[in-house]
Amino acid sequence: MANRTVKDAKNVHGTNPQYLIEKIIRSRIYDSKYWKEQCFALTAELLVDKAMDIRYLGGVFGGNIKPTPFLCLTLKMLQIQPEKDIVVEFIKNEEFKYVRALGAFYLRLTGSSLDCYKYLEPLYNDNRKLRRQNRLGHYELVHMDEFIDELLREERACDIILPRIQKRHVLEENNELEPKVSALDDDLDEEMPSDDENLEEIAEALKAKEKEKKMETIRIRGGGKRDRSESRERQEKVVAVEKTKDVTREHKERGDPERHRDYDRGRERDYERREPPADTRHKDREVREKERDRQRRHERDRMDDRDRDRDRRYGERERERDRDRERERDRDRDRRDRDYERDRDRDYDRDRDYDRRRR
């Protein structure tokens, strides 16, 4: 009785709300100490006090799959099915961040695609830190906007498979949702200079060019002799450089081949030390991202296979228990039949002895 959904609850996504959590995890929650002690006879009003006591997020952890209080309260909300206004107040609560996370997670499980984008996207502006417990029982640091992004983009959050929602661009094309406006647009508009500032910068640049031209003309008129001496010095330097080049060329032609090979090796080594081009770095980054995505998909498939195996083993144990109960009932039935036949034979012998004594 304590684990049943309330009578006036509505189906969510065509099924019982509690069935949104897998059977094996649901049974572990029912057997947990927190569920039996803290979640018994909870109402929507008392649920708020329990939600304010949450200190971390998480799904299940440990080898025997222990549920976190966050997941237990989520199942309790699915069981009592609070009104939408209460869930919206959970999400709008700015004082208790874990109450907001609980409301966002419940709305993602039960709400429509339009409600999910309408109420969860504003939480991208919340950058507060959250503690999350992983499958090994260790705590890790996440932020509220990261958690909301997982709810809207990933297929699984807190070890629960999330219902599918429509893509945002589909709702925008159907005029059901406004185009997304990023909070960074205002900052970019503030940093972009206005047209008046651009005109002022252009005018200052023109004035600086005019000053440079005037200084150049003054330098040409007053320093003709100095220019001729400088040009003569430049010509002498060019001649000296050409002579050194000719000498080095002759030495190279007459030198031994070992020195040429060392020179070539040095050039090849310098070429190898150079930084790879940008397109190569971009390709390497794409390869690393693809490998990371492949490992992520492999890990997700492995977790799904393990959950399916666990559900299958649990079903086999249930069927074995049913067969044992059937055998026990058959034994009890046979035992009652034997007792009945023995009592009937005893009564028959007693009646026959009585008739014999009367005769």
**Measuring CA to CA, how many Å separate 32 from each of 29, 69, 136, 304, 315?**
5, 10, 18, 23, 20
CB 58: neighbour CB atoms within 10 A?
22
pLDDT, greater one: 107 or 351: 107
Give the residue from 70, 8, 82, 10 showing the smallest Cα distance to 39. 70
pLDDT tens per residue across span 103-116: 999 999 998 989 89
Do the Cβ atoms of 165 and 116 come closer than 8 Å?
yes
Q: CA 249, 255, 261, 264: dihedral to nearest 10 degrees?
A: -10
User: How many Cα neighbours within 13 Å face the side chain of 199?
Assistant: 3
Alpha carbon 343 to chain centroid distance?
Answer: 71
Residue 322, both tokens: 């049913």
pLDDT tens per residue across span 67-94: 999 999 999 999 998 888 999 999 998 8
What is the separation, in whole angstroms, between the first and last Cα of the chain?
A: 64
Alpha carbon 136 to chain centroid distance?
Answer: 17
How much is the pLDDT for 214? Answer: 72
Question: What average pLDDT score do residues 33-55 get?
Answer: 89
pLDDT tens per residue across span 332-343: 888 888 888 888
How much is the pLDDT for 65? Answer: 86
Please state the domain extents for the chain.
Answer: 17-188, 282-358
| Cα 17–Cα 93–Cα 19 angle in degrees, nearest 5 | 10
Question: What average pLDDT score do residues 130-138 get?
Answer: 92
Name every residue whose Cβ is closer than 8 Å to that of residue 312 and which is 6 or more positions away in sequence: none
Do the Cβ atoms of 59 and 158 come closer than 8 Å?
yes
Q: CA 122, 128, 129, 133: dihedral to nearest 10 degrees?
A: -40
Q: What is the DSSP letter of 255?
A: S
Q: Using CB atoms within 10 Å of the CB of residue 73, give its burial: 0 to 12 exposed, 13 to 18 middle, 19+ buried.
A: buried
> Across all residues in the chain, what is the average pLDDT?
80
Banded model confidence at residue 1, pLDDT cuts 50, 70, 90: very low
Question: What average pLDDT score do residues 166-174 get?
Answer: 86
